[in-house]
Structures are given as structure tokens and as C-alpha cells.
Structure 1
């Protein structure tokens, strides 16, 4: 997201997926997994096609500006539709180059050459986008009545109504053309530069552990080791590395929070989260209802589950390195890449034949970067790229059941992006974050049920069920706690710079309230807010995970109750992309996110799984 009021996708079309934390799991020998092939975009950073495309797009953008700037208010409906089509072509061309540089950088974050290439691409994209900036600004100045009349007179223009509707949500916060241009230009050496510094710093962090220097993400993998002493040692080693870099990470956080506050005040946003909510096309009240519902359920969800887990582990209190500890007496089975692929393929195929074909296409094409290698972005994401190519998926596959679930999650994103892009095109396929998590979490649920149905061993079933509950708590409770941390940080930053100690206090407070009395947090845990990339990349993104998980829990309940015809309605929902709001998308399923009871329906699913764990003997 640029500092412009609009989602300038050619500059930063955000990947969708799990970038909330470093991968967690037991350390083991690397599992053979594929790297992607980006040649469907460009052959290499030296590919002459990149320079050729830059030159062509700059010429087309200049021509577009000369043709349309200052004329949109007098344009006929047919001319306006023609201008929108031309704008989309240019944006998609810029998006293709930007996507290539982002993906290359994500796969080789510590490579200085890739970093320089990504930065040079950002700078050139910004320069070309300056010729286009007038267009959305002038579109937002068009008279409502005249635009509605144009929709009724011209079917082609009417097809752009959803895009213009979403763009005009930002009308009250739009600044002058000159100020918008300055904000866009300054983002390259301002916000974007700080984000790059964070990414390169985190990718390059090494942790002294077990007598050698290891990447931060690799040491995080020990946080679910069955040996508690090893978990503690890994946690303390991570804490030491975060402490050594704390000043820089605090400075980055304060600088970006101040940058956001300055621009939010200029635009007149009532709250720090307001811009995110408008980008997500969701009302402030709906988000508040979600947060209130989850917070009210802390005791029946996370507090209850982690109390049970402490008993299973034979501990009076859990420390933060016990949160993702494996259950006792269950051997952690490693799944090869081919085994993981087969599980995900079967889950999608059993749900719907067409969805199974899409999954097969992804799994058998070089579109997934799954190898866990040094210097690569941690976590996982799906990048929609452009409709004329295909999405790409990134993850770090270690062979754990959780990695299979991550593959299913990103596969859902990929299929969603492909269906929406094919039907809606580049600009109208962009799905708000609150709905972008729908297909991914639904894919996870399908895969979980497939794994659970295939497991006959009671201990393993109990383990799978507990793992699913933990994933859901991480997705709902933990993300809402992240959100509450961000709210407090951004509120306090408006009053002055926040010292490191205060950031740690806020973090400890939200973690204590959300995870409950089963935990006793050591002081070093105060540092753990600093490695979470979403706080830096896209403030307030995190509540979308909880939104998506609760929404999918309700949606999956509809599927279980009435499977006939569900898949077709589900695929229509995905193919709608960004053309429909959440009320319209959920209406065919009899669901309404504006109803306060909607969120409790989703949270009841998690509570029900915890009920099952309480009723069954522990593994």
C-alpha cells in the first residue's frame, strides 16, 4: 500500500497469506521441495523485455495523461469506459514488472543484487505512475448523478460500477493532486525504504544456537520441539538476537507509525484503522463487533484450551516457548512434498472436481516456491501477479502436518485469485482482505477434515484435533491480540515516540489478556512483537485473518448442513473478486456479517472442538 489514498497496485499489490510470523515447527533435516520458475513473467532481472516494457509503458502512460487529464468531467459514458479500459492495461503492465521484482526479492531477500533490482523497479514504477495519478483523482471528482446516468446509458461503463464504487469510498479523504503526487513520490525514499530495511534486516538475522549461527526462521522451528529444554534455549537465543536489534526495530516501528499518523491526520481519518477498513470495504462497526466478540470469548477459547494443554504437558504454568509445544506421546510424522501434495489435492478434489483440477494445475506447475532455504522470506503468501499470467505461491515446507495445512491455505488463495482474475480482469479482481482469506481458510478446513477422516489412531486424531484448535486460536485469538497491540501503539504514537520498554509492556498486556492465566511470561517475551512483519508491511491487516476464520467457520457449517449446490455458489463467490461486498457475497448462503450473532456462530465452532478435546482422553 502506498501513501496515496488509493490502492496503487502497480507499486505494491500486496501478497495474501501467512506473513504474520516466522515458521514454527520442530527442526529437522530439510525436506526436498520445489523452487518456482518466474520465467512466465521474465527470464531474469537482465531480461531485455523488462526495459522494453518500461519504455513502452512510460510512453503509453504519457500519452494517456495527455489524452485524458482534465477531460473526464466532460467525457461521454463510452469515452469514460474506454479510458478505464486503457488505464487497466497500463496498470496490468506495471503490475507484471512489479510482481516479478517482489517475487524475486521474496525468494532471495538477502541477495544485495535482488534488493537493488527491487528498489530500482519501485522507483521506476513510481515515476511512471505519476502520469496516471490524475485519473483516479479526477474519477472521484465526477458528479454522482452524472455517473449514475452514464451507468444506465452504457453497459460497458456499467461494468466498471463496482470498481468506481470502491474507489469513491476514499473521496472524503482525497487530497489535492499536488499533495497526492508528493506523497506518492516520497513513499519511495520514505515508507517503502523503511519497509525494505526491515525485510532485509529480518532476513539477515542470525541466531547463535547449539554452537553455530543459524537463520532466525530456522531457530523458530525449534519452538515446537518435543524437548522443553531445547525450546527454552531456542527462545532465549531468539530473544538475545531480537534484543541486539531492538533499537533498530523500535526506530522502524516508531518512524512508520508516525508516518501513518501524519498522513491519516492530513486525510481526516477518524481512527488509525479507518483507512484499512475502507480498503477492506468493511464498516468500522463490523470490525468492532468482531473484535468485541473475540475478546469476550478469550476465556472460553484460549484460556480454556491452554489450561488443558498445561495439564497435558504436566506443567503448572506455560512459558511462551510452550505455546506451540507438541502434545506428549505422539511422534511427529514427517511428510514428503509428494505426500503433502497428494493430501491437498485429494481434499480439493473431494470437495469439487473443478477445484481439484485447479489444485492439480498449481501442484504440477513450477508456480510454488516451497523449499526451506536460507535468505528467503519467512512465512507464506500467495501473490496474484496479473490475470494474463497466474498466481505464485511461497512457503517454507518442513514436512509437518502444519506445512500441509499452509499449502492448502495458500492453494485456496491461488485458486481464488485465478478465478477472480479470469472473470473480472486486473482492477476488478482485487478482493478486500476480509474476504481474501475466505478461500484459503476454507481450503484449510477441507484438508483438516480429510486428514482427520483418514486417521484411525485415537492418539493421532486427538493430536490433529488439538493442532487444529491451536491453528484456529493462532488465527483468531492471536490475530485479534495483534490488532489490539497495533491499536494501542498507533494511538500512543500520536502523542509522541514510544520507548522500547513501553512497546514491550503493551505487547505483554495483550498477550496476557488473550492467552490467559495458564501462561507466565518471562521478561524477554516483551521483545517478540518486533519480528512480526504485518505490523510493518500493512498495519491492521491482521484482523482479516480472524474475520476470514470466523466467516469460514460459519460458511463451512452451511456446507455441512446443505452440501448440495454449495460448491457452485462457492465458486461464484470466489469469481466475483472485488465486485461484490461481504453482504452480497454471503447472502446466498443465508449469512450476514453485520449481525452480531454471526461472529459468535464462528467462534462456537472453535469452542465445540475444545469441547471434544475435553470429552476425549488426552494423547
Structure 2
């Protein structure tokens, strides 16, 4: 449903991205090596959490939502009946859109403020208070989409003859896909109100628990980001030490994470059962506006390609590192002779903007705005949300990007990834609060395309075969992490949720599922050592947005095919690409890809995308 809710993603609608694993640099202490790192300016949303504007908008949201319900509820069918006033329905939709914008602005601000320091009690309280008030206000809006969906199909179709209503046709047709799964108004209201104390509360517990964890390493007591970063240290002893520190702390908190996972899985099963979803992932497919058979074709293609992708690459990497097998802490180890020079923030910014500009000056101009207007928060800080995301906020404002920048090449690629999202969100914003949001599968297209542009620009500058080899290997590893690893995550979630339907799972049972799936995906060249059975605990996607993860593989394979079209196109590609991004959520993936001659429903489509990765591995094998 569109009515603003924060029960699934702690206020971050569709913005949770891959955790950033970079080498440890001691966090803020090393910031000087990287130059001045930007911190975002949230005053474009509100001046501060105690500002009169926040208080006023919270009151206005409550009052206007109550008024909207009193004046519009029970009247929608009449607006579309013979002799009815369609103009009143159009006016109601516009009022509803304005309320979504208002609620979205409040929740976006609270979410972003909280993400900057999740361990701060004052910010946590503010976030929780705003979430409760936004949820309470949005309860009065729940009726609107439910009631609109109960209007006869023929009456709705006839109403599209009106230009004002026709403008909202993509949104109306989109929400009507939810019709078979919607419940009675009172039950929807109960689900909505209890989301704050149900799934939303468990999401928040996960975030605050994870942010508060510390890991005892030989380098000292570190947070999650810095400890994960050590898994890419050139010193095997440091990688092993970090891996064992991760396992130790995860094990100490296993009961909490197991309870969170069991509770949220059961909560989802209850919702799915009441709504009539059969498969554990059907609700995600619906939200993504992608057919289950398309996802199944993607999963089958990737799992079938494990031997020629991840299995083959990790066996080759073991040889490069002089090992019979890689331990799990060696999987992301740097290759011998890898340049460990830290990339300054200015250099990273220039690299990405130049790559974007090589594709289109317009794309670089939009991305540059993020730097000039402080829409990016880059430093590592204790308590800051891990990983990276681009939050679209609301169309009347602009996106904000969060990074944990530590100066590695992969951090540059993460910057390119999130700015891809940011450009997409800026271009889609004119569609308005109801039609700008994009399904996750297509949202990842712009981000991965931004990565690909940056990688190809950097690869062209490789001055030696050794440097080209290292860059290709890093890209292959990133693609394996984006495609193979994310599909393995999806398979893990499926097995976990299916098993949970039979009863509560113990930590050992979840760990066994994790090890089975990871073993299948990584292959015989990777040894999963003791402690790795706990590593499922820190993946935020499993908690915030179940089954989100296949969107990464969808986007990566799609971009591989899309980039091949770009390389072969003589003219016009950029215009088609921007038209795709501007569409926001107004078109199905089949409509958006048709101008490029691509069809995601064709199983051969996925083989093309995977073939790009395979050919890169072929080239690397030729360099041995």
C-alpha cells in the first residue's frame, strides 16, 4: 500500500544497499589522509528536531489526515458513478499525494538524523516519536487505496477519459494489483498501527544492537565496519583475527539475533497468510512489480552458473595466493601487488564525475549537485549506520547519500553506485510522491550502471597488464558479490522462511542452512571455518526488507546487457536511458527495457548478463 508506513524498513523505503567493506583506517583518525570528508546538511528538510517546523508539520499531518478521512471516505465510488464528479476524485488524489509528501518529509528527516548516530538516545527517541505520530496520522489515509480498489473496474476505466484522472493512471493501475491481497479496513488499520510495536520495533532493536557491537581484534576494539574492513587486509593473520573477532561477538549475541529473525519471519508469515500470498517471496515480487517466473529464471540461471563463475574464480584466486583452498576470511583478500594507496575524497569525486560526464554531461551535472550542496555524509563515525544508501526523501526536496568512506577503490565504486541512485531519484522526482518511487529491481539498474561507467573509465587508464589484471579481478569479485552472493542470500532466505513455517528455528538450525547455501555458492575452493555459521546475523536486508537481495542480481545482469547495447549504439542511447530513469514507477520493466531491445522475461536474457562475468574470468585465466 502507498499509505506511508515504516514497518518494513525503519523509515528507509528501498534504500538499503550492500555493506561497504573497505580496509580499516582507524575511522576518523585517518580522515586527514583522505581530505575533508563532507557531512550532509539536513536543513533542506528541517532546521532541527525541536524546530517549530517539525512540530507544526506533525500537527498539520494529524489534522489534515483526519479531515481527509472525514471528507473523502465513502465517496470515491460516487465520484466515478454516472453523473458523479470525477474532478472531486482527482482533487482527492492530489490531497492524498500532498499528505504522502508531508508524511514522507517528516519520516525521511527522522530516519536520516537517526542513521547519522543510531546510538544517540535523543535521536533514537526523536525517531521513535516521529514514527509513532506519522503512523497514527497515516491510519486515517488507509481507507483511500482500499476504497479506490473496491470501485468497479469498468467505472475506473471509463474515468480515465478525464485528463486529470488519466495522469494518475499508472499509479491507480499499480495499486489495483494489490487488490487481491487487501483486507477489510479494520484489519488493515490494526496491521498498520501495530507495525510500530511489531516489525518496526524489531527492526529498530536490530539496528541499535548492531550499532552497539564491538569486536576485540589485535588492532584494538573496533566497530562492525572497521572489523569487516580488515577482511580485505593484505596480512592473512589480520584477516583471520578479524574473522574470529566477528564470530566471537556474533556468537555472544546469537540469542538476540535468532529471536529477531524468528519473530520477523513469523510476523511475515502471519501477514502473508491473512493476505493470501502462497509463496514466501510472493509479497516481495508484487512489491517489485516483477513476475515470480522472471525471478525464478534469474535464480536458476545464477545457481546453474556457480561452477563457471564463483567456483572457478575462487579456485584461481587460491592459486594466486599460493593456497590450496581459501579460508572464508581470504575470500576478499587483495591480490598480490595490489596498490594499497588511499584514494582521497577529491580524487574519488573527480573519478566518478569524469566517468559520468563521459557518458553524459547532464548526468555529471546532476551528480555534482550532491557535492556542491552537501547532500552526502561520508565520514565513518561511531554509532553511524553501516554500509551505504541513497535516500530519495520526497520529490519537493532531494535525495541524500550516506557512505562510510575510507579511501579504497571499492569505496569509489560505492560512491558511483549511490550517486547512480541519486541521479535516478532526482530525475524521477517530477513524477510526484505517488509515482516517483521505483521498484527495487529497476532502482538497482541506475546504481549498477553508474558503477559500470566508473569501472570502465578506470580500466581504460590501466597502464600495465598487472594493473589491468588487478582491476578486472576486483570487478569480478564485486560482480560475484552482487550476483552470486545476493542470489545465495535469496536462497538462504527462502529456506529459512520455509523452515520457519514448520516451527521456531534454533541458532544451530539457521547456521546449518547458512553453511549449506554458502558452501553451494562459493564452491570447493573456499573452506568455511568455525565461526562462519554466525555470519548471517549482520545482513540488514534479511531484517529490513526480506527478499530484497535478488534485486542486486537483477540490476547487475540487466546492466551488463544494457551496457553492451550502449557500446554498440551509435546515437540516442543516453536519451533513452534518461527517459527510463525519468519514468520512475510509471512503467513496467517490460516497457522500460523494450526501447533497448531487452526482455527480462526471456531466460536467455540472464545468460547474456552472466556471460559478461564469465568472459572477464576467461581473460583473467589467460593472464595466469
In structure 1, C-alpha distance between the alignment counterparts of 2:556 and 2:131, rounded to whole Å: 33
Residue 552 in structure 1 maps to residue 562 in structure 2: no
In structure 1, C-alpha distance between the alignment counterparts of 2:607 and 2:390, rounded to whole Å: 29
In structure 1, C-alpha distance between the alignment counterparts of 2:101 and 2:219, rounded to whole Å: 49
TM superposition shift of 1:77: 2.4
Residue in 2 that maps onto 1:135: 144
Residue 71 in structure 1 maps to residue 67 in structure 2: no
Residue 592 in structure 1 maps to residue 592 in structure 2: no
Mapping of 1:84-163 within 5 angstroms? 84-152=93-161, 154-163=162-171
Instruction: Write the deviation string for residues 254-311 of structure 1: whole angstroms up to 9, x where unpaired.
Output: 0000000011011110111000000000001000000000001001110111110000
Residue 573 in structure 1 maps to residue 580 in structure 2: yes
TM superposition shift of 1:563: 4.2
Contact 1:10 1:95 in 2 (8 A): no
TM superposition shift of 1:9: 5.2
Residue in 2 that maps onto 1:62: 66
Instruction: Write the deviation string for residues 5-30 of structure 1: whole angstroms up to 9, x where unpaired.
Output: 55635776535455343534344534
Residue in 2 that maps onto 1:522: 529
In structure 2, C-alpha distance between the alignment counterparts of 1:144 and 1:583, rounded to whole Å: 23
Contact 1:27 1:225 in 2 (8 A): no
Normalising by structure 2, what TM-score?
0.96
In structure 1, C-alpha distance between the alignment counterparts of 2:171 and 2:339, rounded to whole Å: 51
Mapping of 1:181-220 within 5 angstroms? 181-210=189-218, 212-220=220-228
Q: Aligned to 1:561, which of 546, 551, 568?
A: 568
Q: Aligned to 1:33, which of 33, 37, 43?
A: 37
In structure 2, C-alpha distance between the alignment counterparts of 1:611 and 1:211, rounded to whole Å: 38
Q: Aligned to 1:19, which of 17, 20, 27?
A: 17
Q: Aligned to 1:493, which of 497, 500, 503?
A: 500
Instruction: Write the deviation string for residues 93-114 of structure 1: whole angstroms up to 9, x where unpaired.
Output: 0100000000011111111111
Structure 1 residues 473 and 7: CA distance shift in structure 2, 3 A = farther
TM superposition shift of 1:333: 1.9
In structure 1, C-alpha distance between the alignment counterparts of 2:6 and 2:413, rounded to whole Å: 30
Residue in 2 that maps onto 1:276: 284
Residue in 1 that maps onto 2:52: 48
Residue in 1 that maps onto 2:270: 262
Q: Secondary structure at the match of 1:609?
A: helix
Contact 1:10 1:91 in 2 (8 A): no
Q: Secondary structure at the match of 2:289?
A: coil
User: How well do the aligned residues superpose, as a CA RMSD in angstroms?
Assistant: 1.3
Contact 1:77 1:151 in 2 (8 A): no
TM superposition shift of 1:536: 0.2
Q: Aligned to 2:258, which of 247, 250, 261?
A: 250
Contact 2:269 2:280 in 1 (8 A): yes
In structure 2, C-alpha distance between the alignment counterparts of 1:329 and 1:406, rounded to whole Å: 23
Contact 1:16 1:413 in 2 (8 A): no
Structure 1 residues 455 and 157: CA distance shift in structure 2, 3 A = same
In structure 2, C-alpha distance between the alignment counterparts of 1:316 and 1:448, rounded to whole Å: 30
Q: Identify unmatched segments of 5+ residues in structure 2.
A: 80-84
In structure 2, C-alpha distance between the alignment counterparts of 1:346 and 1:575, rounded to whole Å: 22
Structure 1 residues 211 and 333: CA distance shift in structure 2, 3 A = closer
- Larger deviation: 125-134 or 31-40? 31-40
TM superposition shift of 1:454: 1.4
Mapping of 1:457-536 within 5 angstroms? 457-536=464-543
TM superposition shift of 1:359: 1.2
Residue 240 in structure 1 maps to residue 244 in structure 2: no
In structure 1, C-alpha distance between the alignment counterparts of 2:127 and 2:227, rounded to whole Å: 28
Structure 1 residues 9 and 18: CA distance shift in structure 2, 3 A = closer
Residue in 1 that maps onto 2:462: 455
Residue in 2 that maps onto 1:302: 310
In structure 2, C-alpha distance between the alignment counterparts of 1:17 and 1:138, rounded to whole Å: 29
Residue in 2 that maps onto 1:379: 387
Residue in 2 that maps onto 1:608: 615
Residue 165 in structure 1 maps to residue 161 in structure 2: no
Moved >2 Å (runs of 4+): 5-32
Structure 1 residues 364 and 457: CA distance shift in structure 2, 3 A = farther
In structure 2, C-alpha distance between the alignment counterparts of 1:134 and 1:7, rounded to whole Å: 9
Contact 2:12 2:108 in 1 (8 A): no
Instruction: Write the deviation string for residues 356-384 of structure 1: whole angstroms up to 9, x where unpaired.
Output: 11111112221000111111011000000
Q: Identify unmatched segments of 5+ residues in structure 1.
A: none
In structure 2, C-alpha distance between the alignment counterparts of 1:283 and 1:124, rounded to whole Å: 35
Residue 334 in structure 1 maps to residue 332 in structure 2: no
Contact 2:40 2:374 in 1 (8 A): yes
Q: Secondary structure at the match of 2:216?
A: strand
In structure 2, C-alpha distance between the alignment counterparts of 1:448 and 1:22, rounded to whole Å: 17
TM superposition shift of 1:130: 1.0
In structure 2, C-alpha distance between the alignment counterparts of 1:244 and 1:409, rounded to whole Å: 34
In structure 2, C-alpha distance between the alignment counterparts of 1:589 and 1:20, rounded to whole Å: 27
Instruction: Write the deviation string for residues 438-492 of structure 1: whole angstroms up to 9, x where unpaired.
Output: 1100000000011111121222211111000000000000000000000000001
Residue in 1 that maps onto 2:82: none
> What is the count of residue pairs matched by the alignment?
611
Contact 2:22 2:411 in 1 (8 A): no
Residue in 2 that maps onto 1:289: 297
In structure 1, C-alpha distance between the alignment counterparts of 2:239 and 2:191, rounded to whole Å: 45
Structure 1 residues 17 and 53: CA distance shift in structure 2, 3 A = closer
Contact 1:367 1:392 in 2 (8 A): yes
Contact 2:2 2:434 in 1 (8 A): no
